Amino acid sequence: MRPARHGMALAAPLALFLAAFFVMPVLLTLPTSFREYVPGMGITAGSWTLGNYREILADSYYREVMWRTLGLGAAVTLACVLLGYPLAFMIARGPARWRMPMMMLVIFPMMLNLVVRSFGWIALLANRGLVNNLLMDLGLIAAPLKLMFNLTGLMIGLTHIYLPFMVLMLVAAIQNIPRDVEVAAMTLGSSRLHVFTAITLPLTAPGMLAGSILVFVLTISALVTPRMLGGPTFKVMATLIYDEYMQTLDWPTGSALAFVLSGLAIAIIWASSRLTRRWAGTA
């Protein structure tokens, strides 16, 4: 009992901080999501309605944006795993003198401001951006490719921004695998591929899961990049919530959308961590 209580005491400052500056404000917006909003007049004081949530479930536009957001989260996460795993493997298992420079390369983009990075992508992906101009000068395409204000642009921008998180998680996970286990499997006649699929991959599953949850949550809640690369025609939940709050001033609908998004995110994280634990054999 004693060690557990000591652990709690150590976590107490953080818990208190989170309670005061995260849980409380979130709970304060909960009542707002049940208020009625009258355009031009504001939030009706003392009103109580489930209408905002009902509208979100009934409206095909909200459903479309919700699915789009979750799909984008899944796609960016998958892209980060596929691109990040080989990279992390190379960093963790490759020559030691390459480790620092490669880690620096991975981390370096994170030192740049998000807005600047998104602007960089705009310069590259716009109709008359670098990519399109190059392809047109080479005569490969006649009209500019649509690389912005759609899924393509957001996928590129968000994968680039969140890849470092995945790589850092995976490097730690791969480094933590005892090499003896792999060597033991090989002495028992396993092929390299079988060692990888039967031992390395499952043992790094928790790291992959942690990285995936991080990337997924960051993606579905990202605001700046979707606003800049998605624009008014390719909305995701975060931009929709921002618009409800800052544009139409309909805070009740905005906070209802926010709670739906949080609920979905928590449900998905819970389900995926259960699945992964089963795969990794720790459940």
Cα 207 to Cα 18, 81, 121, 229: the distances in Å are 25, 11, 29, 30
119-148 residues near another protein, rule: CB under 8 A = 127-128
| Helix H or strand E encompassing 69 | helix 60-93
Which residue, 182 or 243, is less far from another protein as judged by CB?
Answer: 243
34-63 residues near another protein, rule: CB under 8 A = 39-42, 61
Q: What is the DSSP letter of 39?
A: T
Q: How far is the CB of 246 from another protein (least distance, A)?
A: 5
Residue 253's nearest CA partner among 83, 21, 38 is 38
Q: What phi and psi, each to the nearest 5 degrees, are found at residue 37?
A: -115, 125
Binding window for another protein (CB under 8 A); candidates: 101-109, 158-166, 240-248, 261-269: 240-248
- Structure-token match 């989170």, residue found: 18
Out of 3, 13, 232, 281, which residue is the one contacting another protein (CB under 8 A)?
A: 232
Q: How far is the CB of 47 from another protein (least distance, A)?
A: 14
Out of 103, 120, 231, 264, which residue is the one contacting another protein (CB under 8 A)?
A: 231
**CA-based diameter of the chain, in Å?**
76
11, with CB counted inside 10 A (0-12, 13-18, 19+), is exposed
Which residue, 191 or 248, is less far from another protein as judged by CB?
Answer: 248
Q: How far is the CB of 3 from another protein (least distance, A)?
A: 34
The verdict on 149 binding another protein (CB under 8 A) reads yes
Residue 52's nearest CA partner among 241, 227, 239 is 241
Out of 246, 266, 267, 283, which residue is the one contacting another protein (CB under 8 A)?
A: 246
Query: Which pair of structure tokens corresponds to residue 123?
Result: 């310069």
Say if residues 203 and 197 touch (Cβ distance below 8 Å): no
What is the chain's percent helix, strand, coil content, to nearest 5? 75, 0, 20
Rounded CA separation 192/213 (Å): 29
Binding window for another protein (CB under 8 A); candidates: 7-15, 176-184, 193-201, 238-246: 238-246
Binding window for another protein (CB under 8 A); candidates: 11-19, 70-78, 192-200, 231-239: 231-239
One-letter identity of residue 19? A
Which residue, 1 or 116, is less far from another protein as judged by CB?
Answer: 116
The verdict on 111 binding another protein (CB under 8 A) reads no
Out of 56, 124, 220, 243, which residue is the one contacting another protein (CB under 8 A)?
A: 243
Residue 277's nearest CA partner among 206, 225, 212, 226 is 206
The verdict on 250 binding another protein (CB under 8 A) reads yes
Which residue, 150 or 175, is less far from another protein as judged by CB?
Answer: 150
One-letter identity of residue 109? P
Binding residues for another protein, how many (CB under 8 A)?
21
Which residue, 72 or 171, is less far from another protein as judged by CB?
Answer: 72
Which residues contact another protein (rule: CB under 8 A)?
A: 39-42, 61, 64, 127-128, 149, 231-233, 235, 243, 245-251
